[in-house]
Amino acid sequence: QVQLQQWGAGLLKPSETLSLTCAVYGGSFTDYFWSWIRQSPGKGLEWIGEISYRGVTNYNPSLKSRVTMLADASKNQFSLTLTSVTAADTGVYYCARGGRPRIWGQGTPVTVSS
Partner 1 sequence: DIMVTQTPLSLSVTPGQPASISCKSTQSLLHSDGKTYMYWYLQKPDQPPQLLIYEVSIRFSEVPERFSGSGSGTDFTLKISRVEAEDVGVYYCMQSVQFPYTFGQGTKLEIK
Query: Where does this chain bind partner 1 (CB under 8 A)?
Result: 44-47, 49, 58-62, 94, 99-107
Closest distance of CB 102 from partner 1, Å: 5
Q: Between 14 and 45, whose beta carbon lies closer to partner 1?
A: 45
Beta strands in the chain (DSSP E): 3-8, 11-12, 18-25, 33-40, 44-52, 57-59, 67-72, 77-82, 91-97, 103-104, 108-112
Q: Between 18 and 48, whose beta carbon lies closer to partner 1?
A: 48
Closest distance of CB 109 from partner 1, Å: 12
Closest distance of CB 37 from partner 1, Å: 8
